[in-house]
Amino acid sequence: MLPPWFAEYTLYLGLATLLVFVIVAVFGRVAPSNDHFTGLLIDIRRTRRPSALISVIALIAGFGVLGVGISSSTSHFGLAMSGLGSVLLLLGISAGASLPVKVLWTNDYWKLPPPETMIADEARMLARSMGRVYTIAGVGCFIAVLGALIGIIPKLVYVGEAPIPAVFLVADFLLIASGGIFLFRGWRLFRSIRVHRAGAH
């Protein structure tokens, strides 16, 4: 059995994570129409700057929110802030950890044409495809985390006698599996993204 405080912390951690994945999915819908986003995809090296900014902001905010949670005298509020702070710290670490890996920040690594040879139609196609990847991945992760949260409900509140707790467990596995299917689709789409220079064939 999970300790009550840990189950509640996990709930808040999951809710904060759901918010992040909603933002990712919405970003995937609106970003392709943004010229700045398209420009970042044309020259992958340029994306290091917003990635570094996201990492710094998330780390600072994460430490701040986590500090508020730890110092809070109210247990529910403290656990909520601790969950949100933990997600922000993980986001900051994830965004910052890839920055030293220079090979990730080249068009050649992603099999894209050099920036100076990519035409406008290729850039728009790339932006639309990447937007779909963000949206599918965000939805998949949202469903999977939602399933995990449903799985801990019996740890937090009384849901009745057997077999009702087993129903929550089944829903947990089904949603996680559904989220995995979305993530697999997003992964396949991501692998299929190849922009070819016009007139190359």
Per-residue DSSP letter, 157 = S
**Which percentage of the chain shows pLDDT scores above 90?**
60
| 3-class DSSP string for 111-146 | CCCCHHHCCHHHHHHHHHHHHHHHHHHHHHHHHHHH
Q: Does residue 53 register a pLDDT over 70?
A: yes
Q: What is the pTM of this model?
A: 0.86
Is residue 92 helix, strand or coil? Answer: helix
Residue 175 and residue 146 in contact, taking contact as beta carbons nearer than 8 Å: yes
In 3D space, the residue among 113, 139, 140 whose CA is nearest the CA of residue 194 turns out to be 113
* Domain boundaries of the chain, sorted by first residue: 4-192
According to the model, what pLDDT value does residue 198 have?
42
Cα dihedral 59, 64, 69, 70 sign: positive
For the chain, strand residue ranges (E) read none
- Three-state DSSP state, 3: coil
CA distance 181 to 159: 29
- pLDDT above 70 covers what percent of the chain? 95
Instruction: Look at residue 177 and tell me whether its pLDDT is greater than 70.
Output: yes
**What pLDDT, on a 0 to 100 scale, did the predictor assign at position 199?**
41
As a whole number, mean pLDDT of residues 165-183 equals 93
Cα 37 from Cα 113, distance rounded (Å): 17
Q: Predicted confidence band at 8 (pLDDT cuts at 50, 70, 90)? A: confident
Q: Are 78 and 72 in contact (CB under 8 A)?
A: yes
Helix (H, G, I), strand (E, B) or coil at 9: helix
Residues constituting the chain: 201
pLDDT of residue 195: 62
Mean pLDDT across the stretch 140-161?
88
Tens of pLDDT, residues 65-107: 999 999 987 888 999 999 999 999 999 999 999 999 989 999 8
